[in-house]
């Protein structure tokens, strides 16, 4: 399939291990954050979101952590599976319905 | 079956030709967006529309045009003025609650 990014930072993990993907956001006024997963040749898929009045939110096998002090967002994936291999983007909202996207991190899961 | 559809999946443009990418949604979302994705870069906003018959330029609108005559449709035309059109084009829609949902994308290639 097509590559969505040839020069992206890459995280390589063993199947079954936990993965942590990090994102630094730019605007201290941002009040809403989203993580997307993008498989090769496909559109981004919503994973999980968090508002700025929270510092942690959990979903199914995923957890998002928000540190507003250092403007840092992380996505934790528990028991990483081969199907988790993709590019992961964070996005921040600071003006109505407009999102600013990070550059993405490629997650590679080794069997 | 609700969602966002984009067509075609692949599109070939000859030099000097205008081409139109289709985006349709049956989610009853008010807002729709067009992004361009290049390898190694994040998503860049081309145009967006918050309501029918209204749209605004994004960060890289030059060489592109849009229309929003119906709520469910937001076609993007890549004009001959766009000198480097080869990219993956993503359409998204939003109910106005900040989260954007993406279509499967159209890959545009120049012959």
Interface contact B104, partner A, CB < 8 A:
yes
DSSP tag of A89: E
Triad A27, A30, A36: Cα angle to 5°: 100
- Can you tell me the distance from the alpha carbon of B18 to that of B38, in angstroms, rounded to the nearest whole number? 20
pLDDT digits (tens, 9 = 90+) for B23-55: 999 999 999 999 999 987 789 999 999 999 999
Residue B96: predicted pLDDT: 77
pLDDT digits (tens, 9 = 90+) for B77-96: 999 989 899 999 999 999 87
- Can you tell me the distance from the alpha carbon of A8 to that of B40, in angstroms, rounded to the nearest whole number? 6
Least-confidence region, from A10-24, A88-102, B53-67: A88-102
Contacts of B37 (CB under 8 A, 6+ apart): A4, B43, B44, B87, B88, B89, B90, B105
Using an 8 Å CB-CB cutoff, list chain A residues near B102.
36, 43-45
Query: Given the structure tokens 């590019």, which residue do they identify?
Result: A87
CB contact under 8 A, B40 and A103: yes
Two structure tokens written together for B69: 């005559």
Residue A4: predicted pLDDT: 39
- Can you tell me the distance from the alpha carbon of A64 to that of A10, in angstroms, rounded to the nearest whole number? 19
The residue in chain B having the minimum alpha-carbon distance to the alpha carbon of residue A51 is: B98
- Can you tell me the distance from the alpha carbon of A110 to that of A108, in angstroms, rounded to the nearest whole number? 6
Q: Is A3's pLDDT higher than 90?
A: no
pLDDT digits (tens, 9 = 90+) for A34-56: 999 999 999 999 999 999 999 99
Partners of B110 in the beta sheet? B13
- In this structure, the dihedral spanned by the alpha carbons of residues A97, B67, B12 and B5, taken in order and rounded to 10 degrees, is 60
């Amino acid at each position: 399939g097509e590559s969505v990014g040839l020069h992206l930072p890459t995280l390589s993990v063993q199947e079954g291990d936990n993965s942590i993907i990090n994102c630094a956001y730019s605007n201290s006024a941002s009040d809403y954050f989203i993580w997307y997963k993008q498989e090769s040749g496909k559109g981004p898929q919503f994973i999980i979101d968090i508002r700025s009045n929270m510092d942690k939110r959990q979903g199914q096998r995923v957890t998002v952590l928000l540190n507003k002090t250092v403007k840092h967002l992380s996505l934790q994936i528990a028991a990483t599976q081969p199907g988790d291999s993709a590019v992961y983007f964070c996005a921040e909202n600071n003006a109505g319905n407009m999102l600013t996207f990070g550059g993405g991190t490629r997650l590679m899961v080794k069997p | 079956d609700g969602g966002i559809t984009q067509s075609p999946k692949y599109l070939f443009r000859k030099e000097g030709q205008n081409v139109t990418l289709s985006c349709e949604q049956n989610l009853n979302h008010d807002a729709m967006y067009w992004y361009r994705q290049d390898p190694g870069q994040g998503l860049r906003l081309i145009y967006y529309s918050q309501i029918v018959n209204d749209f605004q330029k994004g960060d890289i609108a030059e060489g592109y045009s849009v229309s929003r005559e119906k709520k469910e449709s937001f076609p993007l035309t890549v004009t001959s003025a766009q000198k480097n059109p080869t990219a993956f084009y993503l359409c998204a829609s939003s109910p106005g609650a900040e989260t954007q949902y993406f279509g499967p994308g159209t890959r545009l290639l120049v012959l």
